[in-house]
Structure 1
Amino acid sequence: MTQAQATDTHPGELADVPGWFPPLDQTLFTWFLDQQKKAGIKGDLLELGVYMGKSAILLGHHLQDGEQFTVCDLFEGDAPDEANKAESSKSYASLTQQAFERNYLSFHDTLPTVITGPSSLVDEKVAPDSCRFIHIDASHLYEHVYGDIGAAHDILLPEGVVVLDDFRSEHTPGVAVAAWEAVLNRGLRPICLSTQKLYATWGDPEPLQEELLEMLRQRSDVGLSLQEAAGHRLIRTRSRGMKPPPFPPSRHYVEPVAASAPAPRVAESAAARPARPAPSRARRLAKDLLPPVITRAVRRARVKRS
Structure 2
Amino acid sequence: MSTASATEALPRPTRLADVKGWFFPADQLLFDWILSRQAEREEHGDLLELGAYLGKSAIFMGSYLRADETFTVCDLFDSPAPDDSNSKEMNRSYSTLTRRAFEANYRSFHDELPVILQAPSSVIADEVPAASCRFAHIDASHLYEHVHGDIAATRDILGPDGIVVLDDFRAEHCPGVAAATWGAVATTGLKPLCITATKFYGTWGAYDEIHAELLAMLGGRDDLWHGAEQVAGYPMIRIDGKKAKAPAQPASRHTSEALPNVPSQPARSGLARLLKGRR
Runs of 4+ in 1 over 4 A off after TM superposition: none
Secondary structure of the 1:212 match is: helix
Task: Say which of 186, 193, 198 aligns to 2:200.
Answer: 198
Match of 1:231 among 201, 208, 233: 233
Could you tell me whether the CA contact under 8 Å between 2:46 and 2:134 is conserved in 1? yes
**Paired position in structure 1 for 2:61:** 59
Match of 2:262 in 1: none
2:187 matched to 1:185? yes
For residues 36 and 42 of structure 1, the distance between their equivalents in structure 2, rounded to whole angstroms, comes to 7
Q: What SS class does the counterpart of residue 206 from structure 2 fall into?
A: coil
CA distance in 1 between counterparts of 2:190 and 2:84 reads: 29
Cα deviation 1:189-239 (Å, max 9, x = unaligned): 111111100000001211111001101111111111011123121100011
Q: Which residue of 1 aligns with 2:20?
A: 18
Shift of 1:245: 0.8
Q: 1:154-209, CA deviations, whole angstroms, 9 ceiling, x for partnerless residues? A: 10001000000000110100000000000000111111111100000001211111
1:248 Cα deviation (Å)? 3.3
Q: Distance in 1 between matches of 2:67 and 2:166?
A: 26
Helix, strand or coil at the partner of 1:36: helix
State the partner residue of 1:220. 222
Give CA deviations for 1:71-115 in whole Å, capped at 9, x if unaligned.
000000010100000001111111100000000000000000000
> 1:168 and 2:170 equivalent?
yes
The match for 2:4 is none
Deviations 1:47-82 (A, max 9, x none): 000000000001100001200000000000010100
SS in 2 for 1:148: helix
Partner of 1:129: 131
Instruction: Please give the TM-score of this superposition, normalised by the length of structure 1.
Output: 0.80
CA contact (8 A) 2:59 2:250 kept: no
Bigger Cα displacement from structure 2, 237-246 vs 165-174? 237-246
CA contact (8 A) 2:169 2:178 kept: yes
Q: Which has the larger radius of gyration?
A: 1
Q: Provide the C-alpha distance between the structure 1 equivalents of 2:45 and 2:237, rounded to a whole number of angstroms.
A: 25
Q: 1:143 aligned to 2:149?
A: no
- Aligned partners of 2:70 and 2:166: how far apart in 1? 21
- In the other structure, the counterpart of 1:251 is 253
Matches of 2:215 and 2:164, distance apart in 1: 18
Q: Deviations over 1:124-168 (max 9, x none)?
A: 110000000000000000000000001001100010000000001
Asked which structure has the greater RCO (Cα within 8 Å, sep 6+), the reply is 2
Q: Secondary structure at the match of 2:237?
A: strand
Q: Secondary structure at the match of 2:134?
A: strand
8 Å CA contact retained: 1:13, 1:253:
no
TM-score (norm 2): 0.87
What is the Cα-based RMSD across aligned positions, in Å? 1.2
**1:8 maps to what in 2?**
10
Q: Distance in 1 between matches of 2:185 and 2:107?
A: 36
Is 2:28–2:247's contact at 8 Å kept on the other side of the alignment?
yes
Distance in 2 of aligned mates of 1:221 and 1:253: 31
Matches within 5 A, 1:64-75: 64-75=66-77
**C-alpha deviation, 1:240, in angstroms:** 3.7
Q: Contact 1:168–1:175 at 8 Å: present in 2 too? A: yes
Secondary structure in 2 matching 1:246: coil
Q: Distance in 1 between matches of 2:217 and 2:233?
A: 24
Unmatched segments (≥5 aa) in structure 2: 1-6, 257-279
Once residues 187 and 242 of structure 1 are traced to their aligned partners in structure 2, the CA distance between those partners, rounded to angstroms, is 30
Query: The residue matched to 2:200 in structure 1 has which SS?
Result: strand
CA contact (8 A) 1:227 1:234 kept: yes
